[in-house]
């Protein structure tokens, strides 16, 4: 009997789910006349739409059009949270990443490339070192790792000097790997501005720490994530 009631409730809920145009019309009927609904978009959840207004504000509405969520909406995964509010910035973020000269990344390429990730890294960061120690796992799974420099202590720090040396070296991959093993390399203060450009871009993205991973759709993942976690996320 309980299962029967659940099935009836399940189908009853789905009868009243609205289309995007219906959501838009309903919202336009209740918001001030000087504001309009610009976009109603899907999220990773079938239970919510994201709504952007003409004044730039963003909120979420349930798929039945009954409830509005004004604030960040998170999906709970096993080891991390997905911030749906971040989706709006993803396209802008990846467009900025794609403006960068590919030669300005320190890139580790797989034999068969399935996807790219862009990783803001710091050679003195423990979890950055953990990620790099598993670089073969990412490559084996077809994930190309493109590193950007983000010395967390700033552009006057010792870490900045280390990272500038890596980006200036004749073999950036080897230099970066050596530094992430906690070893030293001969200082090379070239005139390249790559590290400072990456640092400023991280500030633009409001990067809070390292590693910070940008997926190939521009979505931002804060902290360390294994190759398996990244592939599982991309399946969503």
CATH number, residue 19: 3.10.450
The verdict on 58 and 93 lying in the same domain is: no
How far apart are the C-alpha atoms of 210 and 222, rounded to whole Å? 7
CATH number, residue 115: 3.40.30.10
The verdict on 140 and 64 lying in the same domain is: no
Q: Please state whether 41 falls in left (phi above 0), alpha (psi between -120 and 50) or beta.
A: beta
Q: Considering 71, 106, 130, which residue would you say is the last residue of a domain? A: 71
The token pair that represents 196 in the structure block? 């400072």
Q: Domain count of the chain?
A: 2
Question: Residue 185 domain-assigned?
Answer: yes
Question: Residue 80 domain-assigned?
Answer: no
The token pair that represents 187 in the structure block? 């200082």
The verdict on 42 and 112 lying in the same domain is: no
* pTM across the whole model: 0.72
The verdict on 230 and 115 lying in the same domain is: yes
The verdict on 121 and 56 lying in the same domain is: no
Residue 47: CB partners within 8 Å, gap ≥ 6? 62, 63
Question: Residue 216 domain-assigned?
Answer: yes
What tens digit of pLDDT does each residue of 99-111 get?
A: 999 999 999 999 9
pLDDT at 175 over 80: yes
Which 3 state secondary structure label does DSSP give 19?
coil
Question: Residue 27 domain-assigned?
Answer: yes
Question: Residue 84 domain-assigned?
Answer: no
Q: Considering 39, 71, 103, which residue would you say is the last residue of a domain? A: 71
Return the pLDDT at 65.
Answer: 87
Q: Which domain, by its residues, includes 212?
A: 89-234
What tens digit of pLDDT does each residue of 186-226 get?
A: 887 777 799 999 999 999 999 999 999 999 999 899 999 99
pLDDT at 32 over 90: no
The verdict on 121 and 227 lying in the same domain is: yes
pLDDT category at 182 given cuts 50, 70, 90 is: very high
Which 3 state secondary structure label does DSSP give 95?
helix
Helix residue ranges, H only, the chain: 2-15, 20-28, 87-98, 126-133, 135-140, 158-168, 172-180, 194-204, 227-234
The token pair that represents 199 in the structure block? 């640092």
The verdict on 133 and 209 lying in the same domain is: yes
């Amino acid at each position: 009997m309980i299962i029967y009631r659940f099935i009836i409730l399940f189908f009853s809920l789905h009868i009243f789910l609205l289309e995007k145009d219906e959501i838009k019309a309903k919202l336009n009927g209740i918001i001030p006349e000087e504001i309009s609904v610009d976009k109603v978009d899907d999220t990773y959840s079938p239970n919510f739409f994201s709504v952007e207004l003409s004044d730039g504000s963003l909120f979420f509405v349930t798929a039945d059009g009954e409830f509005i969520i004004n604030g960040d909406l998170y999906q709970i995964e096993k080891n991390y949270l997905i911030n749906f509010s971040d989706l709006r910035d993803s396209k802008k973020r990846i467009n900025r990443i794609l403006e960068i000269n590919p030669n300005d990344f320190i890139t580790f390429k797989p034999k068969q490339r399935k996807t790219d990730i862009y990783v803001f890294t710091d050679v003195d960061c423990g979890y950055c070192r953990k990620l790099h120690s598993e670089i073969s796992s990412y490559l084996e799974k077809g994930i190309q790792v493109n590193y950007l420099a983000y010395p967390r202590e700033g552009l006057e720090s010792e870490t900045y000097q280390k990272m500038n040396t890596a980006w200036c070296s004749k073999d950036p991959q080897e230099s970066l790997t050596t530094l992430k093993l906690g070893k030293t390399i001969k200082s090379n203060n070239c005139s390249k501005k790559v590290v400072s450009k990456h640092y400023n871009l991280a500030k633009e993205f409001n990067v809070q720490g390292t590693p910070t991973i940008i997926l190939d759709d521009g979505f931002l993942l804060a902290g360390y994530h294994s190759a398996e976690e990244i592939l599982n996320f991309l399946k969503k």
